[in-house]
Each structure stands twice: as structure tokens, then as C-alpha cells.
Amino acid sequence: MRVVKNALLSRVGRADYKRWTSLENLETWWDERTIELARLVPAGSRVLEFGAGRRQLQRYLPAGCQYIPSDLVDRGPGTVILDLNQRPLPDLAQLRPDVAVFGGVLEYVRDLNGVLIWLANSGATACVASFDAVPRGLGRLGRYAEMKRRCYNGYMSHFTEEQLLRSFEAAAFKCNERLTWTNQLILQFLRRQ
């Protein structure tokens, strides 16, 4: 039933509020990824985390960082409640983020290109993100299995690494650092001036 529900939600481009409201669905093993993401945030940055979940990023940020949590639902004091699949996206000018962080979020965004352009227009100078990219060179059966896995997880963005990099480039973000964590990419992007 979960496969059908997630596939339907991903096709219509809606966030799964029921899934992400429950703290039981926020895995503690994701903290390892959060630590890697935090290492790529420059000290002293004003950080806006999308998909704040259990708000673990704030624990690992470098010295002098200011933390702003954002998620689909309230995650405690100061949370900016925001659905990246709803339009129009809000003006972030009053938040003045230097760095946007997406840990396990971009896969669930229907219009990733639009979100990246919106982010670039917000004044953010850097972005740190993880992404579970579609592997290159899959045959027909491999593509089928990959899409089945992605639908099971409720993913809405089905980009290869190259497509993801091109999307960030189109929004004037250049990849500065690339790491891997399990089967995911962890990328640091800097805005081109």
C-alpha cells in the first residue's frame, strides 16, 4: 500500500505531510549525513535548513553560525513552515540566508529547477545538499527497478548526477566540493558572482 500511496503523491507533486509529521519517520542514522553536510558550511554563516526534521544540523554547525530551521510542519521555535512544492514560494529577504542546506529533501521536490532559481534569487551565496541520484548506464530492467525504488520512497526528482549539476549551474551555483555518503551525493555549491 505504501508503494501505491507514495507513487500517487509523487505523481501529483504533493508532499506526504502524514509521513513527515511523525517523528518516527525521521531516522537517527541520518545524523551521519547531517554531520557531513555541516562540515561543508562555512563558519559564521546564516544557515537556512530545509527539512529540519529533528533539528540535528544546528548541533554540528561550525562556530558562529546562525541557524534557521524550515520544514513542512513546526519543528520548534523559529521554524519557517514551508512546502517547497507549493507556489508561490515565499520571499526569503527578511531571513537573509547565506547558506541553504538540504539533507534528504531535494528528491521530494517536484520542480527542482524552480526551487534552485528561487534560492539563487533569495541571496544565498552557497548551498549544501545531499541527493540520491539516478545511476548512469542503467539498462531497461535497471531503470525499471530504479524507478520502482524511487516511487516506493516517494521521490519526485529523478535526476542523474550530471542533470543535478546542470540544474544548479542554470541557477548560477557551481559545485565546489563533492563527497559520497552511502549511495547519496553530498555537494557544496557556491554562487557565481
Q: For 145-166, what is each residue's pLDDT tens digit?
A: 999 999 998 999 999 999 999 9
Q: How far apart are CA 128 and CA 37, in angstroms?
A: 6
Q: Is the peptide bond between 69 and the residue preceding it cis, with omega within 30 degrees of 0?
A: no
Under CATH, what is the fold of the domain 2-191? Rossmann fold (3.40.50)
Model pTM score = 0.87
Task: Report, as an integer, the average pLDDT of 40-67.
Answer: 96
pLDDT on residue 9: 46
Q: What percent of the chain has pLDDT over 90?
A: 79
Q: Are 187 and 161 in contact (CB under 8 A)?
A: no
Q: Is 175 helix (H, G, I), strand (E, B) or coil?
A: strand
**pLDDT above 60 for 99:** yes
**pLDDT above 90 for 59:** yes
**Which residues of the chain form beta strands (DSSP E)?**
46-50, 66-71, 80-81, 99-102, 126-131, 173-181, 184-191
pLDDT on residue 193: 74
- Domain ranges, ordered by start, for the chain: 2-191
